[in-house]
Amino acid sequence: MEDKIELNSIKSYSNVHSNNENKNERRSMSLPFLIKLLLVCDDPQVESATQELLLPVKNLDLIIEKKVTFITEDFQVAVVVYTGDELQTISNLEKISNAGINILIVGDNLPQKLLRKSIQLSIKDIVPLSTAEVELVPAISEVASQLKTEVNLAPVVSIINGKGGSGASFIASSVGQIISNHSKDELVMIDADLQHGTLADSLNLQPDYYLDDALADIKELDATAIQSMMSKKENLSLLPVKAYSQINRLAHIDQNKISQLFSKVRANFKLLIADLSRGIDSLSIPILESSEHIMVVVQQNISSIREAKALVEQLHNIMGIAPEKISIIVNRYSTKFSTITPDDIKNTVGVESVFTISNDYQLASACTDLGKSIDELSEFKQLEKEFLIIAQQINASNIDILPKTKSLWSRLTGKS
């Protein structure tokens, strides 16, 4: 057995400026979905440094072992650190490879036999220990991106108020029901408003299982349990939240559990719509990070637009969300009562994609009060058309949005 190599490793922190830059990059790094990663390292110093390196990465569930005896959990990625014990490292690699896990090796001056074994086992990458601080996280991210193409996860659409009371819950409920009514595919909505939690009422559902129950049962949830726990309205499912949960039931959010739950839910549906009407908080952050589309709801007034601009800046500059993922929905839009145009809002907020929902307060109130969708109540169909435009825009899920067919009785009577 070779002597342990000298560990000057995972670079020292003497260069404060460089270190801060690296930390900031890692803090903003979010993997495309929850990755369960096994770190195998028998040196406490390297283990501690590697753990510090990986802990800020979002959507990463880290398990650490000194050596591999047998694999008892489902891991997508393993990082094996070579610290001088060639035979043990090869043994670790073989056992991990037999479990079908993607492997990265971290180490300097790898022996020839270990390199040959790495090639035979189709190791994904070899990261020098001396540059691991810079190269390891991007290497893990690259493997995660490759895995994403193999994992069938529903896209996430988040609908969030630019300013409180702008109507995000109404928009989320309407978009979900419109897509449901025009599609045969299974979609799911998650109510992430820990203060009010009104989606169950909007959809006229009487749930007996809530978000906090799902988080408590996270380890036991399989595909069957996820389907059965939901409140359902035909092909539209809902995972609701109880009003004032942040005070009574969800005072402390475990973001790792949120990521696990979302990964499991997304694996069982074609589209996930999240109502984030309360804004950015500990629950909405992991949802926003995994969203394909973020729709910021505003109204035609300066205060709403100003706050929406600040929100978009936070999403882009602080959370690192690409601008092309963000759209604006102008709720209660009217040319009669305001001179602010969609182009004005687009230029002020700095978002290219802007949609409008016409001002029809009575119809919107009727939908909310009766638990019915826009297309079930509207005679003029204007709002339905506007919501269908939004549905088509956000449809990155292969949901087939079809023209709604009339029943035989409707065709005979001429009624919709």
| Alpha helices (H) in 158-230, listed in sequence order | 168-181, 199-202, 211-216, 223-229
Could you tell me the pTM of the whole model? 0.74
Residue 316: C-alpha distances to residues 1, 84, 256, 286, 392 (Å): 51, 43, 22, 15, 24
Domains and their CATH numbers in the chain: 16-148 (3.40.50.2300), 156-397 (3.40.50.300)
Residue 252 CB neighbour total at 10 angstroms: 6
pLDDT tens sequence across 284-301: 888 998 899 999 999 999
Helix 86-98 × helix 112-120 angle, to 10°: 0
pLDDT tens for each residue of 298-315: 999 999 999 999 999 999
Query: Which of 118-132, 180-194, 387-401 is modeled with the greatest confidence?
Result: 118-132
| Residue 243 confidence class, pLDDT cut points 50, 70, 90 | confident
Q: Looking at the predicted structure, is the pLDDT value of residue 131 above 90? A: yes
Q: What is the pLDDT of residues 373-389, one digit of tens each?
A: 666 665 557 788 888 88
Q: What is the mean pLDDT of the chain?
A: 84
Q: How many other C-beta atoms can be found within 10 angstroms of the C-beta atom of residue 98?
A: 11
237: closest CA among 250, 228, 246, 245?
A: 228
E strand segments, 41-131:
58-65, 77-81, 102-106, 125-127
Q: Which pLDDT does position 402 carry in this prediction?
A: 60
